[in-house]
């Protein structure tokens, strides 16, 4: 396969795996836009919104404990069970002296009772359980909000990684394309020198093998770039066949002071907020367990309508109050209080652990960002040196002072240096985003 045919295959592959701008249009996408879309436009982001709304409804459920409970019951029964007949006749206000007869009491005639009942119960004092339940639901809502913020930051970080991956592979695709063009030029130079008897066919074969390797790399990189673009579109909630024109971000040259960044993270990080809220939930659970020893007071009322048919019912009513005091339940309540105290101590210890983990993560992210910046500087210097070395080797080869192996090694060194330099550049971007994530800024 000659070089022209190879270029045609690569072009066809690009058409097959990448949608064209004329078909679907192109969209300029910045890193900030990608992270914003990941936080708002993806199915995972929409699921988080629903989770927040669920938590809000749980607060309404808890507040229902302050309101009265009203039940309406409608039933129809028929039978000759003595107690049922006796009670039904009394409720229907149809009981007579004849019903005191022994035979009538022991073997009554079947009776039908249609009963309509309305009952009302209003808690007066429930040992603070409703208030604690509302507080727990509100803390749960705040916990979901903190968890949602953390999940949004994770989505943003994932989108940033996909964004940087496309940048890296796009640069790699250009580098491999340049390597193919350079290999094609080297092959033409080797053939020309062979034709005039300066080198042998073995040199030409070596360059042809190198040329084929560069073509394979170009094909693989093109396919990887197509997959990375699809993954980026998935991460930002865009149509999978969209073509995003990425705008490389600017990364600040200097890192903030570690101590100030740690202090900022302790306030802004959602997982620190979650740890604080879990400690509050544990304290709330302990207070709820302690409330088991307090009395509970409620007032009740009921209305009944009883009759043989719904149209001839007789009414009756009853009102009352109830006080319930926990005297002894087999030490289960004291065990629950002890359990809640241990859970509260555990939550506080976990909160301290989260605080230390945040500091470790921030300082580690700063170190990785500084290292990435150093690799970027070294990578650019190495790339400049590799390109200059390649130019010198080619000149020496044209002058007969270098072998074709020297030329191929120089070409490989340039491609490797370009790959490392690109990886270092993109690593600076992702480490800067990771530092923002560690500081709770995303």
CA distance 75 to 336: 41
- The kind and range of the H/E element at 81 are none
Domain residue spans in the chain?
3-64+129-292+330-438, 67-128+294-324
First to last CA, the chain: 50
H helices within 399-439, ranges in order? Answer: 404-438
Q: Which of 417, 3, 418, 4 is nearest to 207 (CA)?
A: 3
Q: What is the pLDDT of residue 19?
A: 42
Classify residue 249 by its DSSP letter: P
pLDDT of residue 144: 93
Full strand arrangement of the beta sheet holding 296-307? 69-79, 111-125, 296-307, 314-324
Residue among 34, 36, 38, 43 at smallest CA distance from 155: 38
Q: What's the confidence (pLDDT) of residue 36? A: 94
> What would the two tokens of residue 168 be?
């890296």
230 Cβ partners below 8 Å, 6+ apart?
A: 240
- Residue 25 pLDDT: 52
Tokens 């191929």 belong to residue: 408
Return d(Cα 143, Cα 140) in angstroms, integer. 5
Count the Cβ atoms, other than its own, within 10 Å of residue 367: 14
Query: From 3.40.50.620, 3.40.1010.10, 3.40.50.720, 2.20.200.10, which CATH number describes the 67-128+294-324 domain?
Result: 2.20.200.10
Find tokens 């295959």 and name the residue.
9
Where does 3-64+129-292+330-438 sit in CATH, by number?
1.20.1600.10
Q: Which two tokens mark 183?
A: 């290999």
Four-CA torsion 373, 377, 379, 381, nearest 10 degrees = 180
Q: Mean pLDDT in each 10-residue stretch from start to end of the chain (442 residues)?
A: 40 39 64 93 91 92 93 93 92 88 89 93 91 93 93 93 93 89 87 85 89 92 94 93 88 82 93 94 92 90 89 88 89 91 94 95 94 92 92 86 86 89 91 92 84
Measured in residues, the chain has a length of 442
Q: Which uninterrupted H or E stretch holds 68?
A: none
Place of tokens 């019903």: 99
CB 242 within 8 A of CB 27: yes
């Amino acid at each position: 396969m000659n070089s022209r045919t190879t270029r045609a295959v690569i072009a066809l592959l690009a058409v097959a795996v990448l949608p064209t701008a004329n078909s679907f249009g192109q969209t300029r996408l910045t890193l900030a836009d990608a992270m914003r879309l990941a936080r708002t436009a993806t199915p995972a982001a929409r699921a988080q919104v629903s989770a927040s709304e669920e938590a809000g409804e749980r607060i309404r459920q808890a507040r229902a404990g302050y309101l009265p409970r009203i039940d309406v019951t409608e039933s129809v029964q028929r039978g000759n069970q003595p107690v049922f007949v006796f009670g039904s006749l009394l409720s229907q206000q149809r009981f007579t002296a004849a019903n005191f007869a022994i035979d009538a009491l022991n073997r009554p005639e079947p009776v039908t009772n249609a009963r309509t009942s309305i009952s009302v119960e209003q808690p007066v004092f429930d040992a603070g359980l409703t208030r604690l339940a509302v507080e727990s639901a509100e803390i749960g809502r705040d916990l979901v909000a903190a968890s949602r913020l953390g999940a949004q930051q994770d989505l943003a970080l994932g989108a940033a990684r996909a964004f940087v991956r496309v940048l890296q592979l796009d640069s790699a695709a250009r580098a491999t394309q340049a390597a193919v063009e350079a290999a094609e030029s080297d092959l033409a130079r080797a053939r020309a020198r062979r034709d005039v008897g300066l080198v042998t066919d073995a040199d030409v074969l070596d360059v042809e093998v190198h040329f084929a390797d560069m073509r394979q790399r170009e094909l693989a990189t093109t396919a990887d770039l197509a997959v990375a673009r699809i993954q980026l579109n998935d991460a930002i909630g865009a149509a999978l066949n969209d073509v995003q024109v990425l705008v490389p971000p600017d990364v600040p040259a200097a890192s903030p002071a570690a101590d100030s960044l740690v202090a900022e993270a302790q306030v802004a990080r959602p997982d620190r907020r979650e740890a604080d809220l879990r400690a509050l939930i544990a304290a709330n659970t302990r207070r709820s367990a302690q409330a088991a020893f307090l009395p509970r007071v409620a007032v009740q009322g009921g209305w009944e309508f009883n009759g043989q048919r719904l149209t001839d019912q007789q009414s009756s009513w009853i009102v009352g109050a109830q006080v319930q005091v926990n005297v002894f339940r087999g030490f289960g309540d004291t065990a629950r209080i002890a359990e809640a105290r241990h859970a509260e101590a555990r939550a506080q210890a976990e909160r301290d652990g989260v605080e230390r983990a945040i500091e470790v993560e921030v300082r580690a992210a700063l170190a990785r960002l500084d290292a990435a910046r150093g690799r970027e500087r070294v990578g650019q210097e190495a790339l400049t040196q590799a390109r200059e070395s390649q130019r010198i080797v080619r000149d020496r080869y044209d002058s007969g002072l270098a072998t074709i192996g020297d030329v191929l090694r120089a070409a490989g060194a340039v491609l490797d240096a370009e790959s490392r330099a690109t990886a270092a550049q993109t690593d600076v971007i992702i480490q800067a985003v990771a530092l923002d994530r560690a500081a709770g800024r995303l």
